[in-house]
Amino acid sequence: MTFDDDLCAEGAPEPEFNPGIAERIPKKRVAGGALIRDHAERILFVTPGYKPFLEIPGGVAESNESPLAACRREVREEIGLDLAISKLLVVDWMPAHGVWTDGVMFIFDGGQLNESQSATLKIEDPELTGFRFLTLEESTPFLRPSMVRRIASALAALNDGSPRYAEFGRT
C-alpha cells in the first residue's frame, strides 16, 4: 500500500464548511533530524555554512513530505548514507523566532555507524562545511540551548525506549 492508496481509501475530502478557511489556517514548519552515533557513542554533528551553530543531520520537510521521509532524504543528501532511520525519539514544538514561524521538529534514531562508515564519511551537501563526532557535553558550546535540551531528551529516549514530547526542548 502507498500513501496514494491510503488517500483513495479515505474517500473524497470534505468540502470547506467556510470558504477560504483552509488558506487561513496557520501552517507550521516541520523538520526531521537523525541522532547518528559512532562506535564510541559520540553524536554526529554537521557544520552548516550559513549559521554559527552545529546541527544534527536532517532538515525541513518539503510540501507533502513526512518528517521521517524528510529526515531520510536530508541524511542521504548531506552525508551520502542511506540509513535505516525509523524509531522516533523526540517531537519538539519550537516557537516563532525572528523570520522563522513556529514549527515541529522530529528527532529519529539514526543508529550507530560502524568504524568503516565513520572513517569514510564525507559531506555531500554544499550547504555544509564539515562534520564531527562529539559527546553532548563536548558539543554544548557549539549548539543553541534548545538543541542541547532536544538532544538530551533524544538520548534519554534512546536509553529508556520512551519517546519524548518537548516544547522548545523542554520536556
Three-state SS string over 81-129 comes to CCCCCCCEEEEEEECCECCECCEEEEEEEEEECCHHHHHHCCCCCCCEE
Choosing among 3.20.20.210, 2.70.150.10, 3.90.79.10, 3.10.20.30, the CATH entry for 27-167 is 3.90.79.10
pLDDT at 13: 80
Q: Cβ(168)–Cβ(105) under 8 Å?
A: no
Q: Which residues of the chain have pLDDT under 50?
A: none
For position 107, what pLDDT does the model report? 99
Domain boundaries, the chain: 27-167
Q: pLDDT at position 75, please?
A: 97
What rounded mean pLDDT belongs to the chain? 94
Please list the alpha-helical segments (H only) found in 35-98: 67-79
Is the pTM above the cut of 0.85? yes
- Which pLDDT belongs to residue 21? 84
How many angstroms separate the Cα of 158 from the Cα of each of 72, 80, 103, 119?
18, 24, 23, 24
Q: Which three cell numbers stand for residue 108?
A: 529519529
Q: CB of 50 within 8 A of CB of 80?
A: no
